[in-house]
Every structure is written in structure tokens, then in C-alpha cells.
A = this chain, B = another copy of it.
Amino acid sequence: MTLRDRERPQGPHRAQPPAAMQRAPGAFLARLAAIGAASPLQATPLKLRPRQRIPLAPAQDDLIFALQSGVVSARVGMTNSAAGLITLYFPGDVISVGSIPCFNERILVASTTAEVMRFKSKQFVRLLGSDPELLAAYDRQRDRQLARAAIHAANLATLDSPQRLAAFLIEMTLEIGIPSGTAISIDLPLSRTEIAQHLALNADTLSRLVSRFKADGLIAQKSRHQLSLKNWPAVASMCPLTPALLALERNRPSPLS
């Protein structure tokens, strides 16, 4: 046990969600806004409607988006089949086009209404160089996203389907969950089919799985895109990645830290 003991002494994972609910925009975004307030940025602000698509040509590796609000997903199609993974971005995230691998096709899709700032790489790097605080926040943000990618990879590679769904619910809770009474309500930004793709599961399998979670009283569904997580401790404890996801949250640049 090399981990420093803080907070709850020994619970398998932190059992109470509320603390994690305090979301902050992130130091990177905050600093960016501060700079923008002082002098106009060399960037294009975009408002995206739900389902709006931004195709990314192979030559556009020099674009960078800063996501200010909403949820955006990146989709890359494989040469082979229709299969392909879906990556999610949340407010405060950096979407560097150069970091999205180029199979035969890649596009960004706004999963909800979203606001982004679009930068050209060259100007963006110059901006970073001019403000040490922004640079530091950016670097930490990138670390966080790389760690998230690694966790997601571990999720897909080593866990079985109930654990994957649990991890997804936890991630959603931490990123966009809203506490409502004893439950947490989540506005799903993705359709069932898309969630299945994100989790590298079959849509059929996911459907079965969701039914089982509902039968077990873990979740309930108000409408197609509205679900509520009834039993956080149970869901949190069924996925081995929970501690890592919570640690990620703790590392998030925010007033908390």
C-alpha cells in the first residue's frame, strides 16, 4: 500500500458520488478565457448543433479545437469494415486533429449542442509559448487525456461486458452526471448503437446488458436519452477501473486542487 491514505480510510472505492459532482471548467479553459478577455485570440469560435459534423481531411492535422461546452465525439472508420471506435470529448478537452489516427475516414460529430474554439496549430503553439500558465495547464490537460485514453484501452482490452458498461456509466457520471435525490441522472449524448461502438460491444449484447442492469435495479430509464443511475456504490464496485477514473477526476485542473 504505497498510496497515500487520504479521505476515506479503506472503502473499496469512494462510495459517495457527490464530491465528484463538483465540476469545474478546467484550468486550461479558464486561462484561455482570461487571455481572450484581455486581447482577441487568433481563433474561430464555433457553435455546433447536435449531430453537426466536421469532416477532417488527412491534411488537416494542424487544427486544434478547445471544447468549451457540450460533448463532441470523434469517429474513425476502418479500411476494413464498418467497425470503428468512438472517442468522446468533454468540456475543457483539447481536440488535436493530429492526435486522431487517420484510417480512411475521420470526422468530428457534435453529440450535443457544443461550443468550440478552432485554432490553427501554428498560432496555437505561439499562444502557448507566450503564456507560461496556459502552457502548464495545457500540458496537464494533455496528460489527463492521454491517461483517459489508456484507461479506455484497458477497459476495452481486459474487461468483460458488464464491467465495460459500468465503466461507461462511471465516466458519464463523473463528466456529465447530475445528482438528483439519491440517484444520478445522465443525459446520454450517444444513441445505444453509438454507445456499443464506443465500448467495442455488439449493439445486441449491449441491449441485453442494459436490460439486465435495469432488472438488477442499477439503473432506470426515463426516456431514450435520459437514464438515471440508482445504485452508484454497486456500479462503482463492479468495475476495476473505478479508482483510476476517480484519480483522473482528482487530477483534473480545477479550483479543487
> Taking beta carbons and an 8 Å cutoff, which residues of A are in contact with B?
2-4, 55, 57-59, 61, 76, 78-81, 83-85, 87, 96, 98-105, 121, 125-126, 128-129, 132, 135-136, 139-140, 142-154, 156-158, 200, 240-241, 243-244, 247-248, 251
Nearest first, the 3 A-B pairs at minimum CB distance are A98-B143, A80-B240, A157-B200
Closest to A57 in B: B2
Taking the nearest CB of chain B, how far is it from the CB of A62, in angstroms? Answer: 10
A125 close to B135 (CB less than 8 A): yes
Q: A78-B154, A129-B132, A129-B135 are in contact. Are A101 and B145 (CB under 8 A)?
A: no
Contact partner of A244 (CB less than 8 A), chosen from B98, B101, B140, B158, is B101
A101 close to B147 (CB less than 8 A): yes
Please give, as numbers and ranges, the residues of chain B lying within 8 Å of A85 by CB-CB distance.
150, 153-154, 157-158
Label chain A's interface by main secondary structure: helix
A100 close to B150 (CB less than 8 A): yes
| Alpha-carbon distance between A78 and B157 when the two chains are bound, in angstroms | 12
Please give, as numbers and ranges, the residues of chain B lying within 8 Å of A243 by CB-CB distance.
79, 102-104
B4 close to A99 (CB less than 8 A): no
Closest to A147 in B: B101
Please give, as numbers and ranges, the residues of chain B lying within 8 Å of A100 by CB-CB distance.
147, 150
Please give, as numbers and ranges, the residues of chain B lying within 8 Å of A146 by CB-CB distance.
96, 99, 142, 145-146, 149
Given contacts A85-B158, A156-B157, 5 further A-B contacts (CB under 8 A): A98-B143, A99-B144, A101-B154, A101-B247, A125-B136
| Alpha-carbon distance between A125 and B135 when the two chains are bound, in angstroms | 7
B149 close to A153 (CB less than 8 A): yes
Please give, as numbers and ranges, the residues of chain B lying within 8 Å of A78 by CB-CB distance.
154, 158, 240-241
Q: A100-B150, A149-B146 are in contact. Are A200 and B158 (CB under 8 A)?
A: yes
Contact partner of A149 (CB less than 8 A), chosen from B80, B136, B150, is B150
